[in-house]
């Protein structure tokens, strides 16, 4: 199933009559979950209104390389870095020729030069222009440089000609963008992921919990599904949207999470323990709401079962991946956990920094196995998750 959840797409709209279809392309990309920002060229502006693109994309439309305001907030470099994919649709003959020459005389061509994102080109022009040998050579050159060409359709054109050169269908453009993110790396594999925080009740209204949002775990779920795995989520307390394509089991406490994991673990190939499971719970939950009195309050805590350590010691165990949330002696502590919990790899994240780790949109992690430690540098949790899943697939499932 096509999906662009959490993907950032820049849509470049250049001067072709087909530019009137660009708001629909924005819609179709959003339907698949993408956030879209639009760059329109001078030519594109002749065929589609900035207001429509702005309203539908819910973002300011970018059109000027020299826009002082844009340069302060999100200039060409920021846009180039922001995008996971840049789609030029429609791509006019002129814009395609400029890309071939590496021109940078407007915002769109400059962003293209400045980006590391995947670039997709959806040509749209008169059939005779599309058939011209200069156009064929230009598209071949762009393809050689790693850009994807979205084949135009065949049929009657705005000018009355019939032939190849109509802009591809907006839904097909969105689906082809989504295909960039799907693989069969983990197809046929069953993956169980725990995520979110657990809540340990003190009394009927109070509990002990933590700041886990579920963002990291949900990003992993998304990456597993994109890699073709059948994915089951044991979900504690979270503040993110649920990945609808996964099987979902909601739990509250660490004890619930333990039971849910044990029920599902037999059929799994991979277990990723991303949840922030409470190490301790109150020894007794008070049946009634605890009243204030003048003496200090003490809650006696006892240890919860360690879910990851239990799974790692099962006779028929899946590949077990832990997370280590550390605030000091990071690598050393993570290695101790790797050994103690007997997992196959541990993903270390620093939870003392507000811009990564708990509840943030970004993370930076170390992927640690018995013999290796590799950093996955700061990025969105989605990109970090995709990199983790690629590593796991290569380390543990390559030959199977
Ligand atoms: O949810 P987010 O806001 O996106 O934040 C993500 C995260 C920081 C919570 C996540 O990346 C993370 O680090 N999760 C593990 C948090 C944690 O509990 O770490 P720990 O070092 O205390 O535990 C080590 C491992 O043992 C973890 O895999 C944990 O899931 C597991 N564990 C811990 C206790 C317990 N009783 N059972 C367990 O299975």
* Residue 334, ligand 1, Cβ within 6 A: no
- Ligand 1 center to 368 CA (angstroms): 15
* Residue 307, ligand 1, Cβ within 6 A: yes
In the structure encoding, which two tokens stand for residue 53, read together?
């693109």
Pick the closest to residue 322 from 254, 372, 272 (CA basis).
272
Question: Could you tell me the mean pLDDT of each successive run of 10 residues in the chain, 400 residues long?
Answer: 86 97 98 96 97 96 79 71 96 98 96 96 97 98 97 91 95 94 93 98 97 97 95 98 93 98 97 98 96 90 98 97 97 97 97 94 96 94 94 87
- Ligand 1 center to 321 CA (angstroms): 11
pTM of the model: 0.80
* Residue 200, ligand 1, Cβ within 6 A: no
- Gap between the Cα atoms of 124 and 138, Å rounded: 14
Determine the atom of ligand 1 nearest the C-alpha atom of 349: 13
- Gap between the Cα atoms of 173 and 28, Å rounded: 8
Pick the closest to residue 385 from 177, 224, 232, 233 (CA basis).
224
User: Does the annotation count 159 as an active-site position?
Assistant: yes
pLDDT at 244: 84
pLDDT at 70: 61
- Gap between the Cα atoms of 366 and 391, Å rounded: 12
* Residue 198, ligand 1, Cβ within 6 A: no
pLDDT at 74: 54
pLDDT at 77: 84
Q: Which domains are seen in the chain, by residue range?
A: 8-179 (3.40.50.1950), 190-396 (3.40.50.10300)
- Gap between the Cα atoms of 327 and 378, Å rounded: 17
Contacts 24+ apart (CB under 8 A), 252-257: 252/198, 252/199, 253/198, 253/199, 253/200, 253/201, 253/278, 253/281, 254/198, 254/200, 254/278, 254/281, 254/304, 254/305, 254/307, 255/281, 255/304, 255/305, 256/198, 257/194, 257/198, 257/307
- Gap between the Cα atoms of 315 and 117, Å rounded: 44
Beta strands 153-156; 162-166: pairing state? antiparallel
- Ligand 1 center to 176 CA (angstroms): 36
pLDDT at 140: 98
pLDDT at 154: 93
- Gap between the Cα atoms of 182 and 187, Å rounded: 11
In the structure encoding, which two tokens stand for residue 270, read together?
């991979």
């Amino acid at each position: 199933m096509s999906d662009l959840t959490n993907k950032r797409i820049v849509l470049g709209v250049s001067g072709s009559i087909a530019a009137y279809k660009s708001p629909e392309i924005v819609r179709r990309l959003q339907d698949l979950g993408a956030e879209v920002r639009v760059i329109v060229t001078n030519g594109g502006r002749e065929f589609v209104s900035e207001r429509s693109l702005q309203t539908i994309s819910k973002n300011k439309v970018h059109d000027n390389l020299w826009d002082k305001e844009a340069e302060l907030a999100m200039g060409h470099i920021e846009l180039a870095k922001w995008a996971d994919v840049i789609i030029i649709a429609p791509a006019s003959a002129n814009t395609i020729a400029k890309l071939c020459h590496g021109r940078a005389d407007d915002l769109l061509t400059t962003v293209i030069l400045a980006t590391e994102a995947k670039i997709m080109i959806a040509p749209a022009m008169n059939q005779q222009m599309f058939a011209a040998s200069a156009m064929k050579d230009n598209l071949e050159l762009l393809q050689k440089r790693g850009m994807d060409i979205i084949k135009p359709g065949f049929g009657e054109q705005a000018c009355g000609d019939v032939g190849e050169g109509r802009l591809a269908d907006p839904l097909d453009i969105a689906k082809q963008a989504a295909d960039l993110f799907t693989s069969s790396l983990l197809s046929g594999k069953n993956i169980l992921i725990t995520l979110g925080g657990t809540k340990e009740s003190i009394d009927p209204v109070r509990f002990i919990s933590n700041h886990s949002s579920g963002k990291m775990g949900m990003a992993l779920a998304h990456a597993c599904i994109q890699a073709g795995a059948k994915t089951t989520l044991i979900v504690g307390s979270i503040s993110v949207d649920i990945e609808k394509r996964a099987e979902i089991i909601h739990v509250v406490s660490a004890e619930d999470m333990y039971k849910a994991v044990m029920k599902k673990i037999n059929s799994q190939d991979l277990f990723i323990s991303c949840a922030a499971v409470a190490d301790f719970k109150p020894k007794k939950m008070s049946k009634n709401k605890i009243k204030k009195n003048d003496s200090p309050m003490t809650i006696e805590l006892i240890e919860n079962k360690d879910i990851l350590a239990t799974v790692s010691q099962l006779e028929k165990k899946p590949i077990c991946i832990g997370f280590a949330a550390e605030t000091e002696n990071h690598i050393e502590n993570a290695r101790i956990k790797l050994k103690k919990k007997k997992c196959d790899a541990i993903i270390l994240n620093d939870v003392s920094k507000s811009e990564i780790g708990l509840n943030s949109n970004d993370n930076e992690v170390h992927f640690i196995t018995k013999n290796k430690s590799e950093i996955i540098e700061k990025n969105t949790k989605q990109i970090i998750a995709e990199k983790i899943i690629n590593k796991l697939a290569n380390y543990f499932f390559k030959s199977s």
